[in-house]
């Protein structure tokens, strides 16, 4: 009877050890996420104090008295020590208070809630475009390395990295809007629709579809497709290059040689053997690409007059609107951190080699 008892204890010990290992891994991820978010908060707080724009002067004006300047400084809490100012900064953030924009005279949080759906819509559609064509090009390139398809895929990825987004956007507007009239031009909707659309989700495609007006929906697509293609070329280039490198690295391993020796076709090996083994790399690349699109849509939104966070931040920079700049930076930085944390968690759950 002693032997079975010993055998029963081994699985329980290994299961407990596995539980604590996974728990410690999850705890380290949470701690890393909290530390990174805290670093972002310290960064934005430091920006507010390193900015050359004096918030007191911006509120009181150039001709206020010294007593008025002192009162405004006390109201803003700038007369207190830096640790206390940082604590008050965190308290305001917890309440969702990001300050008042000097451009719109509205709370920055309200402005971001109004503009962020436009950025999400543009970045998500561009990500879908980039993922479909990027993964397809990478698979074609890895199917026959060194072939014409491989060279075309590498050329497209190189152009996606090399061509400036603002130049490509202006060229696209000139060709497809001014000359060919295939695009509806800047903005999200024509003026005839923009004031009649009821904003339910903030996403024009969904709201126009829910409105039941097919002409409005077609107009939204006509405005959206060109900035999506321009912005999506960046993610397509990133996905193609990194996924192609991962596929070619896996192609040189022994299990691929064994599959070839068994008579498996090149396409079957690529899709059924190699591609599942690079899913961790693919998840990471997609997450990084999506986060880059969220923070890199500034130029695209400016060129296409897209009323998203990128254009809002650009306007705030030109107007020295410090609360709007800091709020936009905090929002985009927080999205970047959360997306990367979700990608790490998804990779951990789907790829046993990372455990």
| 3-state secondary structure (DSSP) of residue 53 | coil
Q: Does 81 share its domain with 48?
A: yes
Higher pLDDT, 52 or 95: 95
How many angstroms separate the CA atoms of 161 and 293, rounded? Answer: 13
The predicted structure's pLDDT at residue 12: 46
- pLDDT of 179 above 60: yes
- Residue at 297 is within a domain: yes
pLDDT band at 5 (very low <50, low <70, confident <90, very high): very low
Q: Does 60 share its domain with 170?
A: no
- pLDDT of 106 above 80: yes
- With beta carbons less than 8 A apart as the criterion, state whether 240 and 153 touch: yes
DSSP at 107: B
- pLDDT of 157 above 60: yes
Higher pLDDT, 241 or 55: 241
Q: Does 184 share its domain with 333?
A: yes
- pLDDT of 145 above 90: no
Residue whose entry in the numeric block shows the structure tokens 């929002």: 331
Q: Does 58 share its domain with 157?
A: no
Q: How many domains does the chain have?
A: 2
Task: For residues 126-138, give the mean pLDDT.
Answer: 94
Domain limit, last residue, from 39, 67, 95: 95
Q: Does 41 share its domain with 178?
A: no
pLDDT band at 8 (very low <50, low <70, confident <90, very high): very low
- Residue at 276 is within a domain: yes
Domain limit, last residue, from 49, 65, 95: 95
Higher pLDDT, 203 or 355: 203
Phi, psi of 80 (to 5 degrees): -95, 165
- pLDDT of 251 above 90: no
- Residue at 7 is within a domain: no
- Residue at 256 is within a domain: yes
> How crowded is residue 305: how many other Cβ atoms within 10 Å of its Cβ?
13
Query: Rounded to whole angstroms, what are the CA distances from 264 to 138, 145, 192, 260, 331?
Result: 20, 18, 58, 5, 49
Q: Does 77 share its domain with 151?
A: no
Domain limit, last residue, from 35, 69, 95: 95
Task: For residues 2-27, give the mean pLDDT.
Answer: 54
Mean model confidence pLDDT for the chain: 84
Q: Does 179 share its domain with 231?
A: yes
Task: For residues 284-305, give the mean pLDDT.
Answer: 87
- Residue at 11 is within a domain: no
Q: Does 131 share its domain with 236?
A: yes
Q: What pTM was estimated for this model as a whole? A: 0.84
| pLDDT tens digits along 188-232 | 999 888 888 888 888 999 999 998 889 999 999 999 999 999 999
pLDDT band at 6 (very low <50, low <70, confident <90, very high): very low
- Residue at 12 is within a domain: no
**Structural tokens at position 118:** 């436009």
Q: Does 301 share its domain with 172?
A: yes
Best-predicted range by mean pLDDT (9-18, 63-72, 103-112): 103-112
- pLDDT of 4 above 80: no
Domain with residue 308: its CATH number is 1.10.3720.10
**Structural tokens at position 33:** 């996420």
- Residue at 2 is within a domain: no
Cα 111–113–117 angle (5° rounding)?
Answer: 120
The residue range of the domain holding 264 is 108-350
Phi, psi of 90 (to 5 degrees): -65, -40
Task: For residues 9-25, give the mean pLDDT.
Answer: 56
Q: Does 59 share its domain with 183?
A: no
Q: Does 203 share its domain with 299?
A: yes
The predicted structure's pLDDT at residue 182: 92
> How crowded is residue 85: how many other Cβ atoms within 10 Å of its Cβ?
16
Q: Does 335 share its domain with 195?
A: yes
| pLDDT tens digits along 309-319 | 988 988 888 88
- Residue at 307 is within a domain: yes
């Amino acid at each position: 009877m002693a032997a079975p008892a010993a055998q029963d204890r081994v699985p329980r010990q290994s299961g407990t050890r596995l539980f604590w290992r996974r728990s410690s891994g999850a705890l380290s991820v949470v701690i890393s996420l909290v530390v990174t978010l805290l670093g972002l908060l310290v960064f934005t707080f430091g920006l507010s104090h390193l900015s050359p724009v004096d918030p007191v002067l911006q509120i009181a004006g150039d001709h206020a008295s010294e007593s008025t300047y002192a009162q405004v400084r006390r109201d803003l809490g700038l007369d207190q020590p830096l640790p206390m100012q940082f604590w008050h900064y965190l308290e305001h953030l917890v309440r969702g208070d990001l300050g008042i924009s000097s451009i719109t005279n509205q709370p920055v949080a309200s402005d971001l809630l109004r503009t962020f759906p436009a950025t999400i819509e543009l970045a998500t559609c561009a990500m879908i475009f980039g993922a479909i064509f990027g993964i397809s090009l990478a698979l074609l390139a890895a199917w026959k390395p060194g072939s014409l398809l491989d060279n075309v895929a590498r050329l497209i990825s190189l152009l996606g990295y090399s061509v400036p987004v603002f130049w490509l956007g202006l060229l696209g507007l000139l060709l497809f809007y001014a000359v060919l009239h295939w695009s509806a031009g800047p903005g999200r909707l024509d003026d005839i629709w923009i004031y009649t659309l009821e904003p339910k989700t903030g996403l024009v495609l969904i709201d126009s579809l829910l409105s039941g007006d097919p002409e409005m929906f077609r107009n939204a697509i006509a405005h959206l497709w060109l900035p999506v293609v321009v912005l999506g070329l960046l993610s397509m280039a990133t996905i193609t290059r990194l996924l192609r490198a991962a596929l070619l690295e896996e192609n040189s391993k022994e299990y691929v040689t064994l599959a070839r020796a068994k008579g498996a076709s090149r396409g079957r090996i690529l899709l059924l053997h190699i591609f599942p083994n690079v899913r961790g790399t693919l998840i990471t690349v997609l997450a990084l690409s999506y986060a880059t699109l969220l923070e890199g849509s500034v130029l695209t939104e400016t060129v296409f007059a897209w009323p998203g966070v990128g254009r809002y931040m650009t306007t705030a920079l030109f107007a020295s609107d410090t609360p709007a700049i800091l709020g936009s930076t905090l929002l985009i930085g927080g999205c970047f951190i959360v997306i990367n944390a979700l990608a790490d968690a998804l990779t951990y759950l789907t790829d046993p080699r990372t455990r």
